[in-house]
Structure 1
Amino acid sequence: MEDKHMLMIPGPTPVPEKVLLAMSKHPIGHRSSDFSEIIAEITENLKWLHQTQNDVLMLTASGTGAMEAGIINFLSPGESVLVGNNGKFGERWGKICRAFGLKVEEITAEWGKPLDSELFRKKLEADSQKKIKAVIITHSETSTGVINPLETINKYVKDHEKALIIVDAVTSLGAINVPIDDWGLDVVGSGSQKGYMIPPGLGFVCVSKKAWEAYETATLPRFYLDLGAYRKATHKNSSPFTPPVNLMYGLQVALQMMKAEGLEKMFIRHRRLTDAARAGIKALGLSLLADDKTTSTAVTAVMSTGVTAESIRATMKRQFDIVIAGGQDHLKGKIFRIGHLGFVSERDILTVIAALESTLITLGDKRVTPGVGVAAASKILGD
């Protein structure tokens, strides 16, 4: 049947009908007073979502573009950075830093395990000459479904006093509590196709006063991603370059929907959906890559045993038109990932668990008792 496609990956995520309808409106001039009013409302609501009074800047870019902007605006060639690497995206930030001539030291962990905050403490305390200029952390590692101990690592960065903390919050903003001002985070990047409930195309960077001070002396090359230009324009309810007008129509409505739900209820919903998904998966006899204490509420990574991950994905797509994500790099073919962030409901979790259960039976997994997965998920949702 056409038009029954169901997207259950960690991005892009499902888009509400109200947002889609908003995006279908005729575009207006991006230098008009009417559009300035839209930018003003969006900016105010982005600060609410980020729990900050700092600047929150909008870029026409993906989450990777937002993170690149968050790195190149505050550092100079040859400076030292400490990068947490326990997945595809932590690895990516190290590559970006090297591409711009920064000296990169990585603190690594096995994919599926969280970063060890004590290793950051020791490294930062040993830096008596204050050579480390930034610590770059992926909060929710999308490739593995692991949440890293950002709050604890940030405390050690604050004790260092000189280093900035630069955070990839691409799959945590909107799904996990990230109190930027309370924690004193310096640079936080995110992308529209995750918790924001709109299609890809917008990146967001939140910048602290301390980071802006670093901007004044930073000398890495920048032009289109020069955040100073975005700051100046945003303060005038404008943009330095042509923005995606219709995408911003959608963002305006999505943020209104998020405010109506409220931050606390939004985070509780994501936690509840995660717990239900994990309970259903465990009941089906499958193993989870991240343990219960370190799991992200944005995405769950599942290890396949007996039945291959790719055959599970292919069967769910063919039989149910449900798309789940595969593993990346050395985890390709070994895991599959179920996204449950943004515009996702209890019904969606029950649907994907039921489809997964049926898929396993179809593929000959003899361990599965019909109904156990849905029953386990339903028990969590019924509590």
Structure 2
Amino acid sequence: MTDTTAPSAVPSAAPATTTTDAHSRMAAATLALTLPGDTVLYLLLPMYAAHFGVSLAEAGVLLAANRLVRIVGYGWVARFYARRGDRPTCTLAAIAATLSALGYATLSGFWALVPLRLLWGLAFAALNLSTQAMATADPRGTARRNGRSRAIIAIGPVVALPLGAWCADMWGPRVIFFVLTLASLLGVATARKLPAHPHPVPATPRRLRLPGSLDVWSFLEGFTLDGLFIIGLSYLGKDLMPAGSVVVAGAVLALRYLGEIVLSPVGGRLAERFGAERVLVTLSLLTTVVLVGFGAGWIWSCAAAIVVLRALQLPLLPPIVALRTPGPGRVQALAARSVWRDIGAGTGPLLAGLVLPLVSPLWIYTVPALLLAVAALACARPNAN
């Protein structure tokens, strides 16, 4: 007797995966259209602080404010996102990004800009959470979708940074933010195409617990690659860099995102083939070696290697989180790891600014690099969380 049930199961899986792929692309496109307002501000605010009516010290606080509010507000954003779903949450976030970009174009002074940075911080938390949740909604192909999602997101900064630098060089730092306001409005339109269904949450709230191995790895990854490395590159390489302009600086920053476009999908495919945990451990150990070399004085060659390794690692954590938290706690677990990365990325520059003038760079980069290696190995243990 012919079995007619098996063939019908195969076609039913494909449409679900195709729908998940489409939603993942749309969430990534929304973030790609709204993120440039922030990345261009990182480029222009320190260089043109007086044009925005702030001191250089105030500019540093403004650039850190969006991370600080995410550390506090990610839990609230995750609960709102779980209750309301992607379409309303991302629509509100894209509107907030639009208002922020318009404010960067028109407002001056520290106290006028602080609310915009806090608003953007919460908006990014929602948009970033949506991209991860959409990419991990179907357990099949999560690493592949995460790699592609990171590549789509990076398109926005790659286009906006050189354009913003050129506009600032020609007409001052404000004009580009009018353009980015229009881009964020397009982000509102793409957010309206996302699904509106809520995400299930655990029946009881999770109790306070000590950080697990994935939390520690997320913290150290943000601390080293988004904190110590970025500040150290500027500090240690300042005597080696050629005299440049805002255009050169914009092009250099854009190359970091270009690396994500090219290499994040590669990292996703490696994870699909060899397993996300195995690839994470391997790349983290390689990063450890390169960070030690960076501290030892091989500035530019190791910096290039770090950019490559960072881009390859970006799509790896969400699939691991989704695999280990497959039930209603997935959204909260993704948010928790983002919080730990933000804490690391926020404390890294603070520590670097204090110790780089006083301590040998070899020690500054070797110790966190070894801790990153230990944390990565801990993530590979059975039942690690």
TM-score range, shorter chain: under 0.3
Structure holding more helix per residue: 2
Structure 2 length as normaliser, TM-score? 0.26
Structure 1 length as normaliser, TM-score? 0.26
Structure holding more strand per residue: 1
